[in-house]
Structure 1
Amino acid sequence: MSKQFKEQGGAATMDPSRFRRWITSKIMTKLISFETLTKRRAREERRRKLSARAHIIEYFHQVDDGYSHLAAQALEQLLARYNVEIKCHLVGPPEGANSPEPDLLMELSRNDATKIAPYYGLDFPDCAKMPDQPIVDSAKAILSVLSDSDFVLHAKIIGQALWASDQPALDKLKAVWGISTDVEISERYASGNARRADLKHYSGGMFFYGGEWYWGIDRLYHLESRLSDLGLDRNPGSEPIMPRQAIHVCKKANDTGLTLECFVSLRSPYTAIVFDRALELGRGTGVTVEVRPVLPMVMRGVPATMEKGIYIFGDSAREARAANIPFGNFYDPIGEPARCCYSLYPWAVTQGLGNELLSSFLRAAFVDGVNTNRDAGLQLVVEGAGLNWSVAKTLVGQDGWQDELEANRLMMYESGLWGVPSFRLLDNHKRTIVALWGQDRLWLIANIIEQYLEVEK
């Protein structure tokens, strides 16, 4: 199975040379460090002052993206709370290597937005379906004609009509604000897409401020904290508009009947910062945790770009700091190191230490900066998991693990998910209660567990 995927080279190489592995690891560790982040923010602020610019947040809106509709609902609040200006762009969806599963991503944005909206005090219709193209085109025509100030105030109203598939409502809005011509719409999108590309990003529902990207409402608390530090908060000391969602572990039950499946990989920074917390959630609630490892994306033929990789690693570091989780001393485990660890996984499971092996490997690669491409590094991983290295070294490289990882990948896709970490919560009949993607959805899993157990009482 591991040989069925083609080596892609470039940013998506699965087997870099020793030198490339070393130098890219050093560079990434430097790029995502808190020291680098602090210096970059200070440099951006100096440049802003020298050019006498206002504090400008740039927002990139993708009309048919569920996350963008949630983000649009925060614009007016941001403008009222902080002494900033907001520049609004219209953009298309991610393309090419930045969007390996565009159809799944669109459906995920709708499903996920429906689930998280209530926790942020936002609206997303529970019965929403993906809007038909004529509805999308109507929304684009209206949004394209709006000034930045009107966009901030009214984008959410247009989004509500869009996601309700309410063409009559959109027709009424057209009568109020007018519409752009096809040429004007194309020009507006070309401008937004070009600006996003110049700033080295690829996605919609994004905020950009002072050299840094913030994804949707999930990352607004980072932006709000930064704006507050700059003295721009008109209501200092108050709760952020979109606060970070904490993981609340409910009281442990003796027999929940619930199973939490965790789809993880050994080269995912998001997996690295959530894996141990997912295991802790299971222990704390009495929910059975079943870990289902899969190959890293680039090792299963999924393309990748440098800009996407840099954003993901930087975002992971930012999220880790917010959660007070060690992270950031990175030594890339892609390719052979990951394969070696996966080859030991079936044996580790028989020893009752499968999760410990994965945890130890992730800690070595993402926290301790251990070169897991060397026997000495792999030995540290094995012994850190409580396993016997003298036995392990005779098993490294054995086959038999590939089929299990491929079965896990297919299972993940069946739930409409394709990246890690992903979670699937099952009831006592192994029926899916919810399937979610992302380290930033463990809080929602915890809430759903608590709600389910309350109902069962």
Structure 2
Amino acid sequence: MAEQFKEQGGAATMDPSPVARWITSTLMTHLFSPGTVDRRRAKAEKRRARQGAPHRVEYFHQVDDGYSHLMAQVLPRLVARYAIELHCHLVEGPQGRNVAEPELLLQLSRNDACHVAPEYGLAFPHHPEPPAAALVEQASLILAAQSSADFATLASAVGSALWARDAETLALLAAQHGQASAQQLRAVLDAGNQRRANLQHYSGAMLYYGGEWYWSVDRLYHLEKRLAGLGADRQPGEPMLVPRPEVDVGELRDSGTLTLEMYVSLRSPYTAIVFDRAVQLARDAGVTLQVRPVLPMVMRGVPATREKGFYIFMDAAREARAAGVAYGIFHDPIGEPARRCYSLYPWALEQGKGNALLSSFLRHAFALGTNTCHDRGLRKVVEGAGLDWQAASAHLGQPGWEPLLEENRLAMYAAGLWGVPSFRLLDAQGAPLLALWGQDRLWLVARAIQRELQRGAPDAA
């Protein structure tokens, strides 16, 4: 086994006991089933109505985070459209075990926000470098001095000045609207961080309503649908502020000039809900698909807190439901099940069934609840991929797959990505055209493919 692989935690990961694995899997299946989610929401609404309370939405804003600036631009419209009481909090980024790569995360937020903003009718400048610390502090001091109502109307202007490196405008906003002292800012941040922790979350750009979290503009449609269903929409029947983008393959087809790389892991809920859709997109668009599996983060020694795990499984279930993807009956494949499947991957590739094996494993682990810890369950995976179990048995547990996954991980990091699923779109020369992280970026990948094909069309201007 490669030393680099060992350093990533591949050899040291402790597998859960069969009982612990079963309990966790059963609990996750129950907690995030559609029926349980609906009952939890109904209970929250019943409690709100009984207390005569307003529809209280809390927003957690991180000044140096690109996703927060996107959300800030929508806040005034959110308050105008829905009968909600908005409470705004200023927070810092994820701390401790809740974030593995804080600088990479912020870099990704800037790059991703730049790509996403125009698609949503928002603005975010190309900003490869982090904003100057002095400007971040000035922006924070201004927002820390505002009431929630003023925060919602001012956050976008403050963010626009910050990301434009416009110290003069920030100074003018401070003179017009006031600013907190350094001591007051610290108190406001501490209060926001604590409130977020009390509600069991860890990130910025988050909205909280009725026991559920919604991430920035990308998950706003979930909150909008929920509020509309409760009669809080002041403009019923009108389009949502930020509707969920559809994955539109488009009319043009590639002839092998573009390559779509997809970095995946066998323990990723988000990979599970997008894998087959991404394979289908590549097939329909005619692009060359290169799937590059990596070891799951937890098996690379990256810690996962209860709060983070809970949110990811909840959010993946919600996203799968919206996309009409089969998902939600779990049997956690962390550790030995994933390693055993990976050991079959090089052989499956030789049979032309590499993608089929990964797809079958993800489907069995996340949608069918198959116990892949033993041969009986793994046989279902192998045969579900159209492979022969007896032939597979000769390769099961054999070494040699680790360097391939480590090579993929290094390539993913070199592209400025580190989580899965991630996508890279490459031109005919192998130069990157786009690098994105997240199952919720497949629609943007589809649009990027069409734009590249339009540029190369014979009648393109």
Q: Deviation string for 1:187-227 (max 9, x for gaps)? A: 11111000000000000000000000000000000000000
The residue correspondences of 1:4-403 to structure 2 (distance < 5 A) are: 4-6=7-9, 14-127=14-127, 129-253=129-253, 255-403=255-403
Query: What is the Cα deviation at residue 400 of structure 1?
Result: 0.7
- SS of corresponding position for 1:63: coil
Q: Distance in 2 between matches of 1:382 and 1:255?
A: 31
Q: Distance in 2 between matches of 1:184 and 1:47?
A: 34
- SS of corresponding position for 1:313: helix
Q: Distance in 2 between matches of 1:105 and 1:428?
A: 29
Q: Distance in 2 between matches of 1:431 and 1:232?
A: 48
Tell me if structure 2 keeps the 8 A contact 1:7–1:14.
no
Query: What is the Cα deviation at residue 50 of structure 1?
Result: 2.1
Q: Deviation string for 1:244-294 (max 9, x for gaps)? A: 011000235251400000000000000000000110011001000000000
Q: Deviation string for 1:349-395 (max 9, x for gaps)? A: 00000000000000000000000001100000000000000111121
- SS of corresponding position for 1:425: strand
Q: Once superposed, what is the RMSD of the aligned Cα atoms?
A: 1.3
Query: What is the Cα deviation at residue 14 of structure 1?
Result: 4.5
Q: What amino acid is the match of 1:306?
A: R
Q: Distance in 2 between matches of 1:456 and 1:395?
A: 44
Number of corresponding residues: 454
Tell me if structure 1 keeps the 8 A contact 2:252–2:450.
no
Tell me if structure 1 keeps the 8 A contact 2:143–2:155.
yes
Q: What amino acid is the match of 1:285?
A: A
Query: What is the Cα deviation at residue 97 of structure 1?
Result: 1.1
- SS of corresponding position for 1:217: coil
1:426 corresponds in structure 2 to 426
Q: Distance in 1 between matches of 2:343 and 2:256?
A: 32
Tell me if structure 1 keeps the 8 A contact 2:272–2:363.
yes
Q: What amino acid is the match of 1:301?
A: G
Q: Distance in 2 between matches of 1:33 and 1:71?
A: 28
Relative to structure 1, the CA distance from residue 279 to residue 18 in structure 2 (aligned partners, 3 Å threshold; closer, same or farther) is same
Q: Distance in 1 between matches of 2:149 and 2:128?
A: 27
Q: Distance in 1 between matches of 2:61 and 2:155?
A: 9
Tell me if structure 2 keeps the 8 A contact 1:256–1:453.
no
Relative to structure 1, the CA distance from residue 399 to residue 313 in structure 2 (aligned partners, 3 Å threshold; closer, same or farther) is same
> TM-score scaled to structure 2, two decimals?
0.97
Q: Distance in 1 between matches of 2:252 and 2:121?
A: 28
Tell me if structure 2 keeps the 8 A contact 1:32–1:314.
yes
Query: What is the Cα deviation at residue 127 of structure 1?
Result: 5.0
Q: What amino acid is the match of 2:17?
A: S
Gap runs ≥5 in structure 2: none
Q: Distance in 1 between matches of 2:315 and 2:211?
A: 13
After alignment, is 118-127 or 72-81 more displaced? 118-127
1:443 corresponds in structure 2 to 443
Query: What is the Cα deviation at residue 129 of structure 1?
Result: 3.8
Q: Distance in 2 between matches of 1:7 and 1:186?
A: 40
Q: Distance in 1 between matches of 2:254 and 2:244?
A: 30
Tell me if structure 1 keeps the 8 A contact 2:257–2:287.
yes
Query: What is the Cα deviation at residue 4 of structure 1?
Result: 3.8
Gap runs ≥5 in structure 1: none
Q: What amino acid is the match of 1:56?
A: R
Q: What amino acid is the match of 2:276?
A: D
Relative to structure 1, the CA distance from residue 251 to residue 3 in structure 2 (aligned partners, 3 Å threshold; closer, same or farther) is same
